[in-house]
Structure 1
Amino acid sequence: MSLAAATRDAVRERPFLYDALAAGVVNYTAAARTLDVDGDTDAVATALRRFADELADEPGYESEARVSMQSGLGRVDDGDALLVVGETRLAGGAGSLTGIVASGDLEPAALGDTLGRLRAADIAVEAAGVGDETLVVAVERRDGPDALRVVEAAVGR
């Protein structure tokens, strides 16, 4: 495996570094020192620079969605649910969670961005999913208003 390929693989194991490279906010030499890649630090830094240049040309996702908040979400065993992830089914009127619902022109990548923004805002997510022009994030009730603003900034109009 070439040094460039090994460097790319190492970056893909660290999504935060991948995002930082795409944003152009990385000290390449410092990042090269943290990667477990056989090679000279300067050569790894050069491989990182080249990878970052390629990432800058990749288009991001576009979304335009209406965002709303639904209170009282909780776990249910059956029936209609706002969000189903594996065995977890969340429906209105069944608990104390708040659902942030974005509806419109959404791409699945919007979920990753939204979750990253919520993590940065220190808002814990209980469950989340995206599909067929709808994105749902369930948070604790007290975090609902802040989560609404975060999701609006990520995908809203």
Structure 2
Amino acid sequence: MSIAERTREAVRERPFLLDALRAGVVNYRAAATMLELDANEESVAAALRRFAADLPDYSPSERSVRVTVERGVGIEAVDDTDHLLVVGGQGVYADAGSFTALLGTGEVDARALATALDRLAAVGIDVEAAGVAGDHVLVVVDGRSGGRALRVLESAFGAVPDPA
């Protein structure tokens, strides 16, 4: 495998670096060092430059999403009651705990959820559960973080990057 192929593969294993390349904010020498490809760093840096030139620009697009908040949700083993989300036998239920569920409805998909999760992590909000299906996305956070999480999600859905 060539240095260029190894470099592209290594970048694809690090989505943050792919986004940075698309945005044009990478120090190629530093990125080459970080990738640790067991190759000449200048060759890897050159491969990064060529790869970046081939990528589409990082262009976030605004999505039409309405976010509603439901307080007092819980995460419990699935039973016969209505649930907001079920994964691996655990469900998110209304009126069953101290978490806050944020439900986005509209132009959502896995990319919108990923953007939201990245933004929540960046501001230190832990996510207890999350999922996307159809035109709905659900994110569950600690009850005390609900208001801040709402603002983060609305901002995130307004700037979901287009696919590479």
TM-score in terms of structure 1 length: 0.91
Equivalence for 2:13: 13
Residue 146 of structure 1: how far off its partner (Å):
0.5
Residue 39 of structure 1: how far off its partner (Å):
2.3
C-alpha contact (below 8 Å) 1:128/1:138 kept by paired residues: yes
Equivalence for 1:117: 119
Determine the C-alpha separation between the residues in 2 that align with 1:53 and 1:73.
Answer: 47
Q: Which runs of 5+ in 1 are unaligned?
A: none
| 1:88–1:62 CA distance, 2 compared to 1 (3 A) | farther
| 1:88–1:61 CA distance, 2 compared to 1 (3 A) | farther
Residue 133 of structure 1: how far off its partner (Å):
0.3
Aligned ranges 1:1-157 → 2 under 5 Å: 1-57=1-57, 63-76=63-76, 77-78=78-79, 79-155=81-157
Q: Which runs of 5+ in 2 are unaligned?
A: 159-164
Residue 49 of structure 1: how far off its partner (Å):
1.4
Equivalence for 2:162: none
SS in 2 for 1:56: coil
TM-score in terms of structure 2 length: 0.87
- The Cα RMSD (Å) is 1.7
* CA deviation string 1:11-45 (max 9, x = no partner): 12222222221222110011101112132211111
| 1:20–1:60 CA distance, 2 compared to 1 (3 A) | same
C-alpha contact (below 8 Å) 2:99/2:141 kept by paired residues: yes
C-alpha contact (below 8 Å) 2:72/2:94 kept by paired residues: yes
* CA deviation string 1:59-78 (max 9, x = no partner): 65663210111101102422
- Report how many aligned residue pairs link the two structures: 156
SS in 2 for 1:99: strand
